[in-house]
C-alpha cells in the first residue's frame, strides 16, 4: 500500500521531467569549473535541491489547475503531454496535490532566501521571478500566450543563478549559453503542446500553436533549432565558448526527423507522440553534449 502511494506521488511529481532543470544547473556548474577551476559542492547541492523543488512545484500546481479548469478531462494524454492523469483518475485528492505544490514551493523559496542572504540582489530577482511564474503559470501566463517566453527565461535564469552562486559574477559566455538552454526548454514545451491543442483552446489557453494554428506552427518549429545552432556557431566563432561545443551538431538530425513528422502528420496523435519523443531525446543529448564541450576543453 505504501509502495503504491509512493509510486503515485513519484508519477505526480514527474520524476523523468526533472532532467531539464538538472541539466541547466549542471551547465552553470560546469561553466564555472571551466572558467574558475572550482565548484563549491555544498552550494551546488543546495542549488540542485532548490531548483528541483521549484520544478516539482510548478508541475504539481499545473496539474491542479488543469484539473480544476477541466483541461485534464478533455486532453488526450501521451507519455510527454496531457498531464499525469493522477487527478482525473482520483488517485490523489486535488487539495493534496495543491498543498504538495505549495510545500515544494516553500522549500525552493527557503533555499532561495538563504542564497539571497549570502549572495544579494541578483538571486532575489531570480527568486521573485520564479515565485511569480510558478504560481501564476497555469492561471495567467498560459492564458496570455506567454508560456514559451516564460519557460525560455526560466531556463536561462536557472543556469545564470547556478553560475552566479558559485562565482559571484555573470560572464558573457554564461549569458549566451543561458539563452541557448532557455530556447531549448521553450522548444520542448512548444512541441509538446501539439497534442493539447483542442483541450487548451477550449479552456481559454493561448500557446503559440493556438495563436497561429497547427499548420503554421509546423513552420514556426524550425525557428527553434535554427536559433539554437546559430547561437552556438556565432559563439564559437567569437571565442565566447569552446569549439568542443560544436558536438551538439551530432544530434541535429533528431530535429529534422521530428520536424518532418510534425509537418506531415500534425493531426495524428501517435505521430505527435513520436515527434515529441525525438525532441525530448534531442534536448537531453544536446544538454549533455554542451556540458561535455566545456568539460573536455
In degrees to the nearest 10, what's the CA dihedral of 98, 100, 101, 102? 90
pTM of the model: 0.89
User: What is the residue extent of each domain of the chain?
Assistant: 38-295
Contact 24, 162 (CB under 8 A): yes
More confident residue, 77 or 255: 255
User: Dmax over Cα atoms in the chain, in whole Å?
Assistant: 58
The answer to whether 201 and 210 have CB atoms below 8 angstroms apart is yes
The mean pLDDT of 72-81, rounded to a whole number, is: 64
Average pLDDT, the chain: 86
Question: What pLDDT shows up at residue 68?
Answer: 79
Residue 104 to residue 208: CA distance in whole angstroms: 29
pLDDT tens-digit profile of 13-56?
A: 877 778 888 889 999 999 999 888 889 999 999 999 999 999 99
Section 164-181 average pLDDT: 91
Give the C-alpha separation, 192 to 277, whole Å: 9
Q: Does residue 18 contact residue 104 with C-beta atoms inside 8 Å? A: no
% of the chain beyond a pLDDT of 90: 38
Residues sharing a CB contact under 8 Å with residue 96, sequence separation 6 or more, in sequence order: none
CA distance 76 to 16: 20
Q: Is the pLDDT of residue 295 over 70?
A: yes
Asked if residues 235 and 294 have their Cβ atoms less than 8 Å apart, the reply is no
* % of the chain residues with pLDDT over 70: 93
**Residues constituting the chain:** 297
Q: pLDDT, tens digit, for every residue of 192-249?
A: 888 877 777 777 777 888 888 888 988 999 999 999 999 999 999 998 888 899 999 9
Cell 567569437 identifies what position?
A: 238
The whole-angstrom separation of Cα 157 and Cα 225 is: 20
Query: 67-81, 242-256, 260-274 — which is least confidently predicted?
Result: 67-81
**Distance of alpha carbon 25 from alpha carbon 164, whole angstroms:** 11
Q: What pLDDT is stored for residue 251 in this prediction?
A: 96
**pLDDT score recorded for residue 46:** 94
Cβ atoms of 183 and 255 closer than 8 Å: no
Amino acid at each position: 500500500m505504501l509502495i503504491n502511494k509512493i509510486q503515485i506521488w513519484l508519477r505526480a511529481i514527474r520524476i523523468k521531467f526533472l532532467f531539464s532543470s538538472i541539466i541547466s544547473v549542471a551547465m552553470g556548474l560546469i561553466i564555472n569549473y571551466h572558467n574558475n577551476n572550482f565548484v563549491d559542492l555544498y552550494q551546488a547541492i543546495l542549488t540542485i535541491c532548490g531548483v528541483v523543488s521549484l520544478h516539482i512545484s510548478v508541475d504539481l500546481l499545473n496539474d491542479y489547475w488543469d484539473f480544476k479548469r477541466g483541461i485534464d478531462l478533455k486532453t488526450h494524454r501521451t507519455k510527454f503531454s496531457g498531464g499525469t492523469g493522477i487527478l482525473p483518475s482520483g488517485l490523489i485528492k486535488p487539495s493534496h496535490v495543491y498543498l504538495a505544490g505549495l510545500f515544494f514551493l516553500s522549500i525552493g523559496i527557503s533555499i532561495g532566501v538563504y542564497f539571497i542572504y549570502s549572495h544579494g540582489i541578483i538571486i532575489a530577482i531570480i527568486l521573485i521571478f520564479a515565485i511569480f511564474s510558478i504560481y501564476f503559470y497555469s492561471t495567467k501566463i498560459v492564458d496570455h500566450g506567454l508560456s514559451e517566453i516564460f519557460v525560455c527565461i526560466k531556463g536561462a535564469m536557472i543556469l545564470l543563478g547556478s553560475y552566479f552562486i558559485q562565482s559571484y559574477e555573470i560572464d558573457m559566455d554564461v549569458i549566451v549559453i543561458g539563452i541557448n538552454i532557455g530556447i531549448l526548454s521553450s522548444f520542448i514545451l512548444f512541441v509538446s503542446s501539439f497534442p493539447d491543442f483542442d483541450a487548451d483552446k477550449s479552456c481559454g489557453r493561448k500557446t503559440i500553436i493556438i495563436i497561429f494554428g497547427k499548420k503554421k506552427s509546423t513552420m514556426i518549429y524550425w525557428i527553434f533549432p535554427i536559433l539554437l545552432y546559430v547561437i552556438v556557431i556565432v559563439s564559437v566563432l567569437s571565442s565566447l565558448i569552446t569549439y568542443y561545443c560544436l558536438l551538439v551538431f551530432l544530434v541535429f538530425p533528431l530535429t529534422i526527423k521530428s520536424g518532418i513528422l510534425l509537418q506531415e502528420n500534425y493531426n495524428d496523435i501517435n505521430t505527435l507522440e513520436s515527434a515529441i519523443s525525438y525532441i525530448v531525446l534531442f534536448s537531453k543529448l544536446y544538454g549533455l553534449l554542451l556540458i561535455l564541450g566545456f568539460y573536455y576543453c
